[in-house]
Amino acid sequence: MTELVSDKTRNDLLNEIESDIARYRRYRKNSSKLRWFVLLMITVSGFFTAAAGGAGSGQIINTWFSTPNMLTVWGLVAAIGSLVVQTANPAGLAETFEKKKDAMRALRTELKYRDLDIKVAARLMETARTDPEKAMDTLASIQNG
User: Can you tell me whether residue 117 is helix, strand or coil?
Assistant: coil
Number of domains in the chain: 1
Report the range of poorest mean pLDDT among 84-88, 115-119, 136-140.
84-88
Q: How many CB atoms within 10 Å of residue 125?
A: 21
Q: Which of the four pLDDT bands, split at 50, 70 and 90, describes residue 103?
A: very high
94 inside domain:
yes
1 inside domain:
no
User: Can you tell me whether residue 33 is helix, strand or coil?
Assistant: helix
Residues 129, 131: Cα–Cα separation, whole Å: 6
According to the model, what pLDDT value does residue 1 have?
43
Q: Give tens-digit pLDDT for 15-34.
A: 999 999 999 999 888 888 88
43 inside domain:
yes
120 inside domain:
yes
Full domain range(s) for residue 35: 7-144
113 inside domain:
yes
According to the model, what pLDDT value does residue 60 have?
56
10 Å CB burial of residue 80 (0-12, 13-18, 19+) is middle
2 inside domain:
no
Q: Is the pLDDT of residue 43 over 70?
A: yes
